Chain A
Amino acid sequence: AQSVSQHNHHVILSEAASLELGCNYSYGGTVNLFWYVQYPGQHLQLLLKYFSGDPLVKGIKGFEAEFIKSKFSFNLRKPSVQWSDTAEYFCAVNRRRYTGTASKLTFGTGTRLQVTL
């Protein structure tokens, strides 16, 4: 079964600092990769996703992530965080089956980002 690891559980940054959140997955086959964000008291929203093609994907609100297949990683980055980025961030993966369809999503345990003014 696939698994997802997010090693940073709680990150505190000052506004304008750069952000990188780590995500590693364990599965040797073809995968789809996602980052979801959950703002306080709200539901999960898709930040960005990777299915195929350019391994550097850009999402909403200035976030980007890079898929490095050799490292089984899909780290999330943002050059300059804002106070409004305070939220919990979840990495998720599902397997791409030979038919092109995907299996159910497996989530990491999440990283809580706190941005201070």
Chain B
Amino acid sequence: NAGVTQTPKFRILKIGQSMTLQCAQDMNHNYMYWYRQDPGMGLKLIYYSVGAGITDKGEVPNGYNVSRSTTEDFPLRLELAAPSQTSVYFCASSFQGTSGNTIYFGEGSWLTVV
């Protein structure tokens, strides 16, 4: 089972460049999330989606954009990369049913902006 798949795993960007982090899940989950992880800061939610066509901001959305055209895919776009966006990015998904849910994470994308 593939679960949550993220690409690329590693990327170096120059300031001002743009890129898209891809995320796909094959578990038919309705909820998808993008988190960033910085040392000593835990995980911060960037954006999330409760279903195809619906997205919403998390705690730290500035500098990012997302779209959710299908249930499976939830790409994260950085339009003008800045050094502050150097981080590890995790995509995640969950099935939002009754009595709570478990969130499954991808393996992460290490992004460095220089």
Contact: B101 with A102, CB < 8 Å?
yes
**CB-contact partner of A109 in B31, B40, B48, B106, under 8 A:** B40
Residues in chain A within 8 A of chain B (CB atoms):
9, 32, 34, 36, 42-46, 49, 51-52, 90, 94, 96, 99-102, 104-110
Bound Cα distance A105, B96 (Å): 12
Among the interface residues A46, A94, A99, A102, which one has the most CB atoms of the partner chain B within 10 A? A102
Cβ contact within 8 Å between A51 and B100: yes
Contact with A along B12-27 (1 / 0, CB 8 A): 0000000000000000
Can you name 21 A-B residue pairings with CB atoms under 8 Å?
A34-B103, A43-B90, A43-B105, A43-B107, A46-B102, A46-B104, A49-B102, A52-B100, A90-B42, A90-B43, A94-B101, A96-B100, A99-B98, A100-B98, A101-B97, A102-B100, A104-B31, A104-B45, A106-B45, A108-B42, A109-B42
Q: Main SS of chain B's interface residues?
A: loop
Docked complex Cα distance between A78 and B97 (Å):
30
Q: How many residues of B contact A (CB 8 A)?
A: 25
Residues of B within 8 A of A (CB): 31, 33, 35, 40-45, 48, 58, 90, 96-108
B42 contacts across to A, CB distance below 8 A: 90, 107-110
Q: Which residue of B lies closest to A103 (CB)?
A: B96
